[in-house]
Amino acid sequence: MKEIILDTETTGLSVRDGHRIVEIGCIELEDLMPTKNRFHCYLNPERKVSEKALEVHGYTDEFLSTHKKFAEIVDEFLGFIENKRLVIHNAEFDLSHLNNELALLGKKKLNNENVVDTLALARDKFPGSPISLDALCKRYRVDNSKRTQHTALIDCDLLAKVYINLLDQKEPTLNFKNEDNEKIIINSNDTNQYYKKVVKPSEAELKLHKEYLKNSLKKNFFN
């Protein structure tokens, strides 16, 4: 199944205050594995960036004024996400801004029926614990050192790793015993499991082995 990890950056928090999208980032997953397909663009929001938003992502009015408007990339964007599940951290925020942009162009809004909100997943899994993207990266030991500011593609890359962990689909690790007390080594690059069975001799077999050693050693010593 194909899914899209999606993130946006905006001029401010609420569309009710007229805020617009300034960046969209998407990373495609197929069966929880990242593909080479990505969508990314900066956008001219046709308005000023709020001071608080500028502190978050660092995109200035001057920088954004040189980029395309949402209307110029909307068809390419919709084609990229078509018929794919969207995976978003705090989906309500991103969907409200995306649907506002679509509404301004008279286009059909995105529905939330085929959307996974990783914020809700984390809230159910870790009630009462911090569930920001940074907090989840720390919990799952995902390196977020490059996230000095919020940028859509970096956030998507981190969210993809967090999402896999939230679904308990982690990369295979060493596991030393199974139900049959067999030693298991799982190759991190393969889903196959390799077993090395530990055979314990019975008391009768141990007794026969001792007798064999005794007789064999005596014969070799005296000959």
Q: What is the pLDDT of residue 146?
A: 84
In which band, very low, low, confident or very high, does the pLDDT at 8 lie, cut at 50, 70 and 90? Answer: very high
Tokens representing 135 are: 């907090």
Q: What's the pLDDT score for residue 172?
A: 40
- Assess whether pLDDT exceeds 80 at residue 192: no
What is the rounded CA–CA span in Å between residue 55 and residue 164?
Answer: 29
Considering the candidates 67, 97, 150, 209, report the single residue annotated as catalytic. 150
pLDDT reported for residue 118: 98
Query: CA-CA distance, 192 to 206, in Å (whole number)?
Result: 35
pLDDT digits (tens, 9 = 90+) for 50-100: 999 999 999 999 999 999 999 999 999 999 999 999 999 999 999 999 999
Predicted local confidence at residue 202, as pLDDT: 76
- CB-based contact 158:147 (threshold 8 Å): yes
The per-residue pLDDT for 193 is: 38
Cβ(57)–Cβ(13) under 8 Å?
A: no
Pick the more confident residue, 120 or 219: 120
pLDDT, tens digit, for every residue of 178-187? 444 443 333 3
- Report the chain's mean pLDDT, rounded to a whole number: 85
Q: Domain spans of the chain?
A: 2-166, 183-222
What is the distance between the alpha carbons of residues 94 and 118, in angstroms, rounded to a whole number?
Answer: 12
Look at domain 2-166 and name its CATH class. Answer: alpha beta
Q: In 3D, which of 96, 86, 76, 109 has the Cα closest to residue 16?
A: 96
Check if 150 is active-site: yes
- List C-alpha distances in Å: 163 to 57, 69, 109, 116, 203: 22, 30, 25, 10, 51
Closest C-alpha to 22, from 140, 117, 136, 152: 152
The whole-number pLDDT of residue 57 equals: 95
Question: pLDDT tens digits for 161-179?
Answer: 999 999 975 544 434 444 4
